[in-house]
């Protein structure tokens, strides 16, 4: 799931001609029904954003911290193949995608393993009147699967709640991500094609 720090119109340019009309801003606002709780900056994390060393939560041997440019450099060379495919379909490269999230999200966070090695970066931001959520990681996500799963439901909700709902797209063949998203409470709305590759659009509502 790639950071969608761009307009809905530019995202639509990557979509097949048969689907482009579905991605207009007005239709997207109706589809996701994001209410008036969309802030200019996620209010839950303003203090944390000024403290790069702060551990926001601990889950077993893993920790969640505020993302930094150093995390980008340590994650992108080892990014999972499935994540690389999704990024390429959106017209980006791994390092560029992570930097886009870091520079444009309302909040960007990093998951660290027991040795404080970054293995995933995730965040939330806004495209027009809707909010997106994303996560990109290395193969070490599998090595930390138990702790990562325990943290996932908590953090997807913490990131989603200020907006009412968040959305993104996931490749149809990314079966691990599809199972993970279902575990996190996602609903799959429709099938789209980006760069001639099949994707599902999903939404995660706040609870």
Query: What is the per-residue pLDDT for 38?
Result: 43
SS3 at position 35: coil
Q: What domains are there in the chain, each with its CATH number?
A: 8-205 (3.40.630.30)
Mean pLDDT, all residues of the chain: 82
Span 112-169, pLDDT tens digits: 999 999 999 999 999 888 899 999 999 999 999 999 998 999 999 999 999 999 999 9
Q: pLDDT at residue 170 above 50?
A: yes
Strand bridging mode 187-194 / 107-112: unpaired
In percent, the amount of the chain with pLDDT more than 90 equals: 68
DSSP 106: S
DSSP H helical segments within the chain, as ranges? 8-12, 25-32, 46-49, 69-75, 81-89, 94-104, 140-143, 145-160, 175-183
pTM exceeds cut of 0.75: yes
């Amino acid at each position: 799931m790639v950071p969608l720090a761009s307009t809905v119109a530019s995202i639509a340019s990557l979509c097949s001609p048969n689907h482009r009309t579905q991605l207009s801003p007005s239709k997207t606002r109706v589809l996701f029904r994001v209410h008036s709780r969309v802030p200019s900056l996620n209010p839950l994390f303003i203090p944390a954003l000024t403290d790069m060393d702060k551990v926001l939560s601990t889950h077993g041997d893993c920790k969640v911290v505020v993302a930094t440019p150093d995390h980008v450099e340590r994650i992108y060379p080892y990014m999972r193949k499935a994540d690389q495919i999704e990024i390429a379909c959106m017209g980006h490269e791994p390092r560029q995608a992570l930097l886009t999230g870091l520079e444009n999200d309302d909040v960007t966070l990093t998951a660290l393993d027991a040795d404080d090695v970054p293995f995933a970066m995730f965040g939330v931001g806004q495209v027009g009147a809707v909010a997106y959520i994303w996560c990109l990681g290395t193969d070490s996500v599998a090595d930390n699967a138990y702790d990562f799963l325990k943290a996932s439901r908590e953090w997807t909700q913490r990131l989603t709640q200020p907006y009412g709902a968040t959305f993104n797209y996931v490749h149809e063949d990314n079966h691990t991500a599809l199972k993970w998203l279902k575990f996190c409470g996602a609903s799959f709305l429709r099938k789209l094609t980006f760069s001639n590759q099949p994707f599902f659009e999903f939404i995660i509502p706040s609870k």
